[in-house]
Homo-oligomer: A and B are copies of this chain.
Amino acid sequence: MGKLLKKCQNRGLKLTSQREVVISILENSEDHPDVDELFRRATEIDKSVSIATVYRTVKLLEDANFIEKHEFGDGKSRYEESGEHHEHLIDVETGEVIEFIDNELEELKEKIALKMGYELVDHRLELFGKKLKIN
């Protein structure tokens, strides 16, 4: 049984067959699928999964902090399993999403919030860039 599935079980979530499908897709995805894509992948495995259940499941998992929701500006919500914190760089030409982490940045954000009299509880950073051509 996958780790995420186990976490859900430990949390006492009812593990229906449909949830298991959606959860295992989320834990085996390396990308940032939106609900439509999750639905597509889910029905490939089990045609009984409905889009409503996908929506309900991602909300459930998000509330449990097991997955994270992102909005990269195309109007749809995309999801990925929670894990080590990282930021996103979006290639504006290809739509590719590249994950990265920069410790200097992490420290700086805390510092800025603090300077403004706030405790940082969450943040969101996306860089949009064009790949440099090497001449």
Question: Which A residues contact B (CB, under 8 angstroms)?
Answer: 71, 73, 89, 91-92, 98, 100, 102, 104-105, 108-109, 112-114, 116-132
Check B105 against A112 for contact (C-beta < 8 Å).
yes
Check A129 against B118 for contact (C-beta < 8 Å).
yes
Q: How far is the CA of A128 from the CA of B89 in the complex (A)?
A: 20
How many identical chains are in the complex?
2
Check B108 against A89 for contact (C-beta < 8 Å).
no
A91 (CB) vs chain B CBs: closest residue = B118
A72 (CB) vs chain B CBs: closest residue = B124
- Contact partners of A109 in chain B: CB under 8 A: 105, 127
Q: Given that A71-B73, A73-B71, A116-B100 are known contacts, is A129 also in contact with B125, CB under 8 Å in the complex?
A: no
